[in-house]
Amino acid sequence: MSKSKDIREAVETELGFDPLVDSSDVTVKNLEGEVALNGTVPSYPQYLEAAAAARRVSGVRDVHNHLEVSLPPGDYRDDATLTTTANNALQLDVTVPTGVEAKAKSGNLTLTGTVSFGSQRVAAADAVAGLIGVRNIKNEIEIFYDADPIDVTLNVQDALWRYSLIPDDSDVLVETDVNTVTLVGHVRTWAEHDAVIAATWMTPGVFDELVITG
């Protein structure tokens, strides 16, 4: 059995094993660790979870999520209702700064506004991801923080050093230009990749153009 088939079958098994994903209409393709998910799922959280499940599989280098959210008839919401519901959810979430707004069009939410941390940008998307009627989220929230690039670099390096999930021999390096941080190096798994992002994302002055090459 080829390694390519091993990875594809492992991803299919993981999708079927995950209770948060209905994989009955999902197909998997693999090319040297580049996994593509095609088909439909009935909710946006399942769209996200399917990609997360695929990334957990050993040998997966990247996941291209081409799934579409096909809402059950009872889950459709008109634009005005979904917009109001989403904005209420943002206002009620203490981790989302004031000024972040949502607008719905055919089940697709667009988030706008300005925050200081990348983690706040993620929190806004998380706050509305599970709402009934959401088919996709376009996050256009901007990050602004008047920070010294040298301070940002040192803060990120310290954060990487403290984080227990990042190995001591990691070769990840930090490059800072104004408030954009680029991470360059090698990671062994998606879990390690996510740990590096998580450690960096908490640093003030970090924009959302984080890149890991390896």
For residues 203 and 147, is the Cβ–Cβ distance under 8 A? no
* R_g over Cα of the chain: 19
What would the DSSP string read from start to end of 65-90?
A: E--EE---GGG---HHHHHHHHHHHH
Q: Most distant CA pair in the chain: distance in Å?
A: 54
CB-side neighbour CA atoms (13 Å) of 4? 7
Per-residue pLDDT of the chain (214 residues; tens, 9 = 90+): 456 569 999 999 999 999 999 999 999 999 988 999 999 999 999 999 999 999 999 889 889 999 999 999 999 999 999 999 999 999 999 999 999 999 999 999 999 999 988 889 999 999 999 999 999 999 999 887 666 777 777 877 787 788 767 777 777 877 777 666 777 888 777 777 888 877 777 776 665 455 555 4
- At 166 the pLDDT is 75
- At 206 the pLDDT is 66
For residues 75 and 85, is the Cβ–Cβ distance under 8 A? no
CB-based burial of residue 43 (10 Å sphere; 0-12 exposed, 13-18 middle, 19+ buried)?
Answer: buried
**pTM attached to this predicted model:** 0.81
- At 168 the pLDDT is 73
CB-side neighbour CA atoms (13 Å) of 132? 8
In the chain, what are the domains?
A: 3-69 (3.30.1340.30), 73-143 (3.30.1340), 149-201 (no CATH)
